[in-house]
């Protein structure tokens, strides 16, 4: 059984983490949108997380789906401690989170309370049933309270709490200058009516 789970995990990693150049570029879309000044548009469901690299000390970024409950943001690490961004947070939990709410310095904390875990997973299941069910299924967990609590150590969910402590810098809006040029280009090359 363990061999089959390892095999499924390996196949899932290959499906989720694309190897082709164009597929990898699709994963970069939230970063480009944020740099263009469109972060608030995609920032209702995707957040940009900036954390310090555990080995290099350089700022590392990842785009993650998140859900809010009681004013707090929550994310799941689909690959648990195998995800590089998750290991970076374990080394230094001070992060910068960028979403439709703006840029916020936060401290990432693993959700350990059983009540909070169940409540947040209900929100995840309600708002994104296919992805959340896939996540639980990949861990061999049924989407019911008993199965979730019996396997809670295998669920890697983080909550972000506001902090005033230092955190890595967020992604800057450094491509907004493109918009005026794009408007000028559209105006110059618009179709002209014949008289």
Q: What is the pLDDT of residues 51-85, one digit of tens each?
A: 999 999 999 999 999 999 999 999 999 888 888 99
How many CA atoms are closer than 13 Å to the CA of 166, on its beta-carbon side? 2
Report CA Rg, the chain: 20
Element (H, E) at 89: helix 84-91
The conformation of residue 126, written as its DSSP 8-state character, comes to: H
Give the separation between CA 159 and CA 7, rounded to whole angstroms: 30
Q: Compute CA 192 distance to the chain's CA centroid, rounded to the nearest angstrom.
A: 44
Rounded to an integer, the average pLDDT of 39-60 is 89
pLDDT score recorded for residue 18: 57
Domains and CATH numbers, the chain: 2-188 (2.30.110.10)
User: Strand locations in the chain, DSSP E?
Assistant: 46-52, 59-65, 67-69, 72-76, 94-99, 102-110, 157-162
């Amino acid at each position: 059984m363990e061999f089959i789970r390892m095999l499924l995990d390996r196949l899932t990693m290959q499906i989720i983490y694309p190897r082709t150049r164009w597929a990898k570029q699709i994963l970069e879309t939230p970063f480009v949108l944020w740099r263009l000044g469109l972060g608030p548009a995609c920032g209702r469901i995707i957040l940009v997380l900036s954390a310090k690299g555990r080995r290099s000390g350089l700022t590392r970024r990842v785009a993650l789906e998140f859900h809010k409950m009681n004013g707090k943001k929550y994310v799941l690490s689909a690959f648990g401690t195998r995800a590089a961004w998750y290991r970076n947070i374990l080394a230094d939990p001070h992060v910068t989170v960028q979403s439709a709410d703006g840029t916020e310095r936060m401290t990432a904390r693993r959700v350990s309370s059983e009540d909070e875990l169940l409540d947040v997973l209900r929100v995840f299941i309600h708002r994104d049933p296919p992805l959340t069910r896939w996540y639980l299924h990949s861990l061999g967990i049924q989407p019911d309270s008993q199965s979730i609590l019996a396997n809670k150590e295998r669920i890697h969910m983080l909550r972000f709490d506001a902090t005033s402590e230092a955190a890595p810098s967020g992604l800057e809006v450094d491509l907004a200058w493109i918009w005026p040029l794009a408007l000028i280009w559209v105006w110059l090359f618009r179709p002209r009516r014949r008289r």
